[in-house]
């Protein structure tokens, strides 16, 4: 049976006009992954409810009937390594990889989503147009602007789109380097009418997103997703989810959350509450009480993440009664010094209380997220993390503890964007693995090699496009990237430059022309505040 036939839609698609823009909207992964992306669902529904757009969906394993001559080809880009599938899709549609090699016969290739909003530069050569930020109003602005130049040549279209707020046209910006394998000297717009810096679009309404389709073929089967909050008020200094998406916004309980949940419960009994800091919604307790009504006792509720000091026994009981067995909290480190450096406002006692509450409320499993390689971290800080985990285990016997741990990766638009990955992180992950195994605490480390690739992409510039094309043939292991760097030696800086080097705070960054929510001067102050803690 066709996967598309099993979808339950929560919106009414509109029949396109006879002269509607033929548009392909792609997700560069399998259907079950793509259809689970709330961002993809929302943007697809926006296109499908416009009479001036005729949208067809494309995944790596299934597609709708595609137009013969699409004018626009869009990608929703959520996971860095999916760039390989973007290149595969371009090839299958007979579209050159490089924007500069396309002509008037080719569709304009546009992209959006978290990867491109954070740092589009490693992928800049592959896209004609990049949409930065929230899509709520941006999609309408983009299509409206495109309509005005629809029948013009390619350059005219790009110049017009480049004047729209939140729309970035990489080919209209010139990057110059101090040397071919050195720092960036400057990034300038090549046309007076094109802004010298592009600011991402920020949606400031209080009606947030909810699923537009529910299907048992999604990776989270039959789930109806409701966005409770956007961004995070905590501002941990490494955190892209907080810094890049500011300001913190919450959905109105009456106008957004309750109507959305009621709509979703007509087609499924599984609700996912999404957001970087869901429990910090000012009316979160009212939302819980609403979901705890007897009429919803067969509803399954899952929560993306819980701030540690909001994990009360009441919350644990409600989640447990609504068929949730485990909950996730981010603690980052057991060291008070490290938590101060990253601005994690949390005490060890609060973490222990969260575990006790989880157990007394009936939850079976507590997942903790931690990190190694955080700036200024030493061996003693790792020992503090082990002691913290041991004390949690002692305080809540019988509660299954899982400790997931990643390596610190510098992210654009955060105070730690200038810092490199600590090479000792790999050794520290191995040490944790050994000690925690003895203590019977389940340890789930994220691959250190994957962190290196992530750092490369998160701090990369346009010189990486050749490298990314090469690694497509070599595979996605760290060895493949090293091989590609070797092959391109002298044409771009070495791997260490992007991944491990600390950069000067006054140098031109790959994304210096893309304005984040906070100015660079503020990010520098936040970095100085972090570094002053141990000095």
Domain shared by 108 and 16, yes or no: yes
d(CA 299, CA 341): 41
Domain shared by 432 and 339, yes or no: yes
Domain shared by 46 and 128, yes or no: yes
pLDDT in tens, 195-244: 999 999 999 999 999 999 999 999 999 999 999 999 999 999 999 999 99
Report the CATH number at residue 37.
3.40.50
d(CA 308, CA 368): 10
Question: Which range, 122-126, 274-278, 515-519, is most confident?
Answer: 122-126
3-state secondary structure of 190: coil
pLDDT at 263: 96
- For residue 111, tell me if it sits in a domain: yes
* Number of domains composing the chain: 2
What is the percent of the chain with per-residue pLDDT over 90, rounded to a whole number?
Answer: 93
pLDDT at 440: 87
The tokens of 332 are what?
């980052």
pLDDT in tens, 70-88: 999 999 999 999 999 999 9
d(CA 13, CA 9): 9
Domain shared by 299 and 440, yes or no: yes
- Distance set, CA 51 to CA 12, 18, 39, 237 (Å): 12, 9, 21, 44
Residue 168 in this model has a pLDDT that exceeds 90: yes
- For residue 207, tell me if it sits in a domain: no
- Of 423, 431, 419, give the one whose Cα is nearest residue 452: 423
- For residue 267, tell me if it sits in a domain: yes
Domain shared by 43 and 85, yes or no: yes
Domain shared by 346 and 409, yes or no: yes
Q: What confidence category does residue 526 fall into, taking pLDDT thresholds of 50, 70 and 90?
A: very high
Q: Are strands 167-168 and 129-131 parallel, antiparallel or unpaired?
A: antiparallel
Domain shared by 180 and 237, yes or no: no
pLDDT at 535: 63
Report the CATH number at residue 419.
3.20.20.70
Question: On the CB side of 255, how many CA atoms lie within 13 Å of its CA?
Answer: 7
* Contacts for 76 with CB less than 8 Å, ≥ 6 apart: 25, 26, 27, 34, 37, 39, 40, 43, 111, 112, 113
Domain shared by 265 and 319, yes or no: yes
- For residue 298, tell me if it sits in a domain: yes
pLDDT in tens, 377-429: 999 999 999 999 999 999 999 999 999 999 999 999 999 999 999 999 999 99
- For residue 171, tell me if it sits in a domain: yes
Beta carbons within 10 angstroms of residue 517's beta carbon? 17
pLDDT at 200: 95
- Distance set, CA 512 to CA 103, 265, 318, 515, 533 (Å): 29, 45, 46, 7, 27
- Of 338, 335, 316, give the one whose Cα is nearest residue 325: 316
Average pLDDT score over the chain? 95
Mean pLDDT computed over 163-182 = 97
Domain shared by 174 and 239, yes or no: no
Domain shared by 250 and 386, yes or no: yes
Residue 476 in this model has a pLDDT that exceeds 90: no
- For residue 487, tell me if it sits in a domain: no
Check if the beta carbon of residue 473 is closer than 8 Å to that of residue 486.
Answer: no
- For residue 465, tell me if it sits in a domain: no
- For residue 39, tell me if it sits in a domain: yes
Check if the beta carbon of residue 495 is closer than 8 Å to that of residue 453.
Answer: no
pLDDT in tens, 339-386: 999 999 999 999 999 999 999 999 999 999 999 999 999 999 999 999
Domain shared by 264 and 346, yes or no: yes
Give the domain extent around 243.
Answer: 222-450
pLDDT at 1: 57
Domain shared by 20 and 64, yes or no: yes
pLDDT at 322: 87
pTM above 0.85, yes or no: yes
Length of the chain: 535
């Amino acid at each position: 049976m066709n996967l598309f036939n099993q979808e339950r839609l929560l919106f009414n698609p509109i029949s396109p006009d006879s002269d509607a823009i033929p548009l392909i909207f792609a997700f560069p992964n399998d259907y079950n992954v793509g259809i689970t992306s709330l961002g993809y669902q929302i943007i697809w529904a926006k296109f499908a409810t416009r009479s001036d757009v005729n949208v067809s969906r494309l995944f790596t394993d299934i597609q709708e009937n595609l137009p013969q001559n699409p004018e626009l080809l869009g990608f929703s880009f959520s996971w860095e390594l999916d760039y390989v599938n973007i290149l595969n899709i371009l090839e299958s549609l007979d579209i050159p990889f490089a924007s500069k090699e396309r002509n008037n016969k080719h569709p304009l290739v546009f992209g959006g989503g978290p990867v491109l909003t954070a740092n589009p530069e490693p992928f800049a050569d592959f896209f004609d147009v990049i949409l930065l930020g929230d899509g709520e109003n941006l999609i309408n602005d983009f299509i409206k602007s495109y309509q005005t130049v629809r029948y013009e040549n390619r350059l005219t279209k790009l110049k017009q789109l480049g004047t729209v707020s939140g729309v970035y046209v990489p080919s209209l910006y010139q990057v110059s380097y101090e040397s071919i394998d050195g720092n960036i000297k400057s990034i300038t717009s090549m046309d007076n009418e094109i802004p010298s810096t592009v600011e991402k679009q920020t949606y400031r309404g209080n009606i947030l997103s909810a699923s537009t389709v529910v299907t048992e073929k999604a990776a989270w089967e039959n789930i109806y997703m409701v966005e409770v909050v956007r961004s995070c008020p905590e501002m941990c200094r490494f955190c892209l989810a907080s810094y890049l998406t500011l300001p913190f916004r919450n959905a109105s309980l009456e106008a957004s959350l309750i109507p959305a949940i009621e709509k979703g419960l007509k087609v499924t009994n599984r609700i996912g509450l999404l957001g970087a800091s869901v429990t910090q919604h000012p009316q979160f307790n009212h939302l819980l009480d609403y979901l705890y009504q007897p009429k919803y006792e067969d509803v399954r509720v899952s929560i993306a993440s819980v701030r540690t000091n909001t994990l009360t026994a009441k919350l644990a009981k409600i989640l447990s009664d609504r068929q949730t067995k485990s909950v996730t909290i981010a603690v980052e480190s057991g060291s008070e010094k490290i938590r101060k450096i990253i601005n994690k406002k949390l005490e060890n006692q609060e973490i222990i209380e969260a575990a006790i509450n989880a157990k007394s409320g009936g939850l079976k499993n507590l997942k903790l997220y931690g990190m190694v390689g955080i700036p200024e971290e030493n061996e003693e800080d790792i020992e503090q993390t082990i002691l913290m985990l041991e004390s949690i285990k002692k305080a809540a016997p019988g509660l299954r503890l899982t400790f997931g741990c990643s390596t610190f990766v510098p992210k654009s638009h955060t105070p730690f964007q200038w810092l490199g990955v600590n090479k000792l992180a790999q050794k520290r992950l191995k040490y944790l693995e050994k000690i925690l195994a003895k203590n019977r605490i389940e340890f789930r480390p994220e691959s250190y090699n994957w962190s290196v690739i992530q750092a490369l992409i998160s701090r990369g510039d346009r010189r990486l496009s050749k490298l990314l094309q090469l690694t497509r043939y070599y595979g996605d292991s760290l060895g493949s990237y090293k091989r590609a760097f070797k092959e391109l030696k002298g044409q771009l800086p070495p791997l260490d430059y992007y991944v491990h080097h600390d950069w000067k705070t006054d140098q031109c960054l790959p994304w210096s022309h893309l304005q984040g929510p906070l100015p660079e001067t503020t990010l520098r102050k936040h970095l100085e505040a972090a570094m002053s803690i141990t000095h």
